[in-house]
């Protein structure tokens, strides 16, 4: 009976463990489904907004033009109105692309560098490139940045904080560096290479 009760206890514990694993797996699948539906909804909204504006622009541009030598005042007003509508629609399309790129964090398309941004530790305000390094490449805040003597890279100090794409902040890992052209921090792995032609082993 003792062996039987012990085995029953083990079976109950195993059933409970597997049930907890199943609940965790179900929660993960639900979260993935929610993210997928939200992403699909955003994509559909962007596709609709962009294509509606695009079709309207194409319609306005393909309208037959008046080729008469003497342009009447009415035709001039119509052409001006069409031009303003095309300009507004192009602005709407540009905004749609910008919003979608920001949602997907496609910073290269927006002309911005990839990577996280350094922030003030107390106020959590984003620090621009000009606030971090000068035009000559000199460090403006030695308490926030330092130069790695071995690689020459600008590395954040151990107490530096960075802002991620999801708007969360976290301490900057020791394996990160500051890109001097964008002012953003990136991991060294996959972003830094060794030039064997111009560099040599330290003596």
- Structural domain boundaries in the chain: 2-104, 116-187
To which H or E segment does residue 37 belong? helix 2-61
Predicted confidence pLDDT, tens digits, the chain (203 residues): 888 889 999 999 999 999 999 999 999 999 999 999 999 999 999 999 999 999 999 988 887 654 444 456 556 666 777 788 888 989 999 888 888 887 876 666 666 667 788 888 778 788 887 888 887 778 887 888 888 877 788 888 888 888 887 777 888 888 888 888 778 888 888 777 766 666 554 43
Q: Which of 140, 180, 146, 181 is nearest to 160 (CA)?
A: 146
- 0.85 exceeded by pTM: no
Q: How many residues does the chain have?
A: 203
- What span, in angstroms and rounded, lies between the C-alpha atoms of 144 and 94? 36
**Contact (Cβ atoms closer than 8 angstroms) between residue 144 and residue 157:** yes
Beta-carbon-side half-sphere exposure of residue 11 (alpha carbons within 13 Å) = 6
**Helix, strand or coil for residue 22?**
helix
């Amino acid at each position: 009976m003792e062996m039987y009760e012990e085995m029953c206890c083990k079976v109950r514990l195993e059933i409970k463990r597997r049930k907890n694993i199943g609940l965790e797996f179900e929660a993960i699948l639900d979260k993935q489904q929610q993210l997928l539906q939200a992403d699909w909804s955003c994509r559909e909204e962007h596709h609709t907004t962009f294509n509606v504006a695009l079709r309207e622009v194409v319609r306005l541009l393909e309208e037959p033009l008046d080729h008469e030598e003497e342009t009447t005042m009415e035709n001039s007003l119509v052409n001006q109105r069409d031009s303003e509508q095309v300009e507004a629609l192009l602005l709407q399309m540009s905004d749609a692309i910008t919003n979608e790129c920001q949602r997907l964090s496609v910073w290269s398309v927006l002309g911005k560098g990839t990577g996280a941004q350094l922030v003030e530790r107390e106020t959590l305000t984003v620090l621009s490139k000009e606030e971090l390094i000068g035009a000559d490449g000199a460090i403006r805040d030695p308490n926030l940045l330092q130069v790695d003597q071995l690689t020459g890279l600008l590395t954040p100090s151990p107490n530096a904080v960075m802002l991620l794409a999801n708007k969360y902040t976290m301490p900057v890992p020791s394996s990160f560096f500051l890109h001097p052209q964008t002012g953003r921090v990136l991991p060294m792995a996959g972003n830094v290479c060794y030039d064997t032609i111009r560099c040599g082993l330290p003596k």
